[in-house]
Amino acid sequence: MTEPIIAIRDVHKWYSGVHALKGVDIDIRPGELVGLIGDNGAGKSTLIKILSGVTRPDQGQVLIDGQTVDLKSPKSAMRLGIETVYQYNSMVPTMSVARNLFIGREPLRFSLFGIGLMNQAKMRHDSIRAIADVDLHLRSPDALVGELSGGQRQGVAIARAMYFKSRVLILDEPTNHLSVKETTKVLGFVSGLKAQMITGIFISHNLHHVFSSCERIIAMARGKVVLDKPTDRTSMEEVQELM
C-alpha cells in the first residue's frame, strides 16, 4: 500500500462547550477522490478547517507524506499543496478573473526591496490557459468575477487550484445553491481531478452527488467517523442509517 498523502490521527476539537471532533482517524492515499458526508453539525467543516490551516486541532496530529505538520495558517497548508474551495469562496467580485486566479500569488515583472510590479500580461495569458484546462468557457480573463454565475466561480476556484499544482483539493459544499446545470458542471470538475492525479475531498449534503463522483465514502456523525468504505461496498441506505 502506498503511504497516505494525508493522515489524520485521533484529532479532537472543542469549541468552548462543544466537542466538535471526538478522535477522528482518516488516511487518504495519493490520487484518491473521497466523499465526506454527514448531517449538519457532524464536524465536516471543522475537520476541513484543520486541514486547510484555518484552525488547529486541540489534540491529535495531521501527517502529510508521513510527516507530522503544523498547519498554522492557510498559507502553510497551501505551501504543502492543500487548496480549499468553499461554498462562498474567497474570490473578489470586483476584480477580474485573471486577478482572482493569482490573488496573493501574483507574478512580478520585477521586484526591488520587496516592492514589485505585477506581470499583467502573464496573468492574462496563464489565466486563459488555466480556465481552458478545466473546460470552462469564459468570454475573457478580464471579466469581473461578480458577473459570473455560481458554477463559473467554482470553476475559476478549481482552475486556480490546478494552476498552482495543488496536490490536494478540498471542496466544501461546492454545489450549494447552484442550478442543476451548474451543479452538473461542478461535478464534472470534481470527477476530472482523478485524471489530473489530484487527491480530492468532496463534501456535500447530497448523497447522489457524492456517490456518483467519489470512489470512497466517509460519513461523520456527532464528531466521529461512522463509516469509511469504498463506494462500491456501501449504499446510500447504509449511510443514511448510520447518520
Ligand X SMILES: Nc1ncnc2c1ncn2[C@@H]1O[C@H](COP(=O)(O)OP(=O)(O)OP(=O)(O)O)[C@@H](O)[C@H]1O
Residues that bind ligand X (CB under 6 A): 15, 18, 20, 38, 40-46
Q: Which three cell numbers stand for residue 13?
A: 476539537
Nearest to 48 by CA among 81, 77, 69: 77
Q: Which three cell numbers stand for residue 35?
A: 466523499
Least CB distance to ligand X at residue 173 (A): 7
Selected binder of Mg ion within 36, 37, 45, 77 (CB under 5 A): 45
Least CB distance to Mg ion at residue 84 (A): 12
Residue 18 near which of ligand X, Mg ion, none (CB within 5-8 Å, type-dependent): ligand X
Binding mask of the shown chain, residues 117 to 156, with x at each position contacting Mg ion by CB under 5 A: ----------------------------------------
Interior/surface letters 47-67, b for 16+ CB within 10 angstroms, e for the rest = bbbbbbbbbebeebebbbeee
Question: With binding defined as CB under 5 A, does residue 213 bind Mg ion?
Answer: no
User: Which one of the spans 45-53, 69-77, 121-129, 177-185 is the region binding Mg ion (CB under 5 A)?
Assistant: 45-53
Nearest to 46 by CA among 80, 8, 81: 8
Distance CA 56, CA 48 (A): 10
Minimum CB distance to Mg ion smaller for 43 or for 155: 43
Minimum CB distance to Mg ion smaller for 138 or for 217: 217
Tell me how many residues contact Mg ion (CB under 5 A).
1
**Applying CB under 5 A, which residues contact Mg ion?**
45
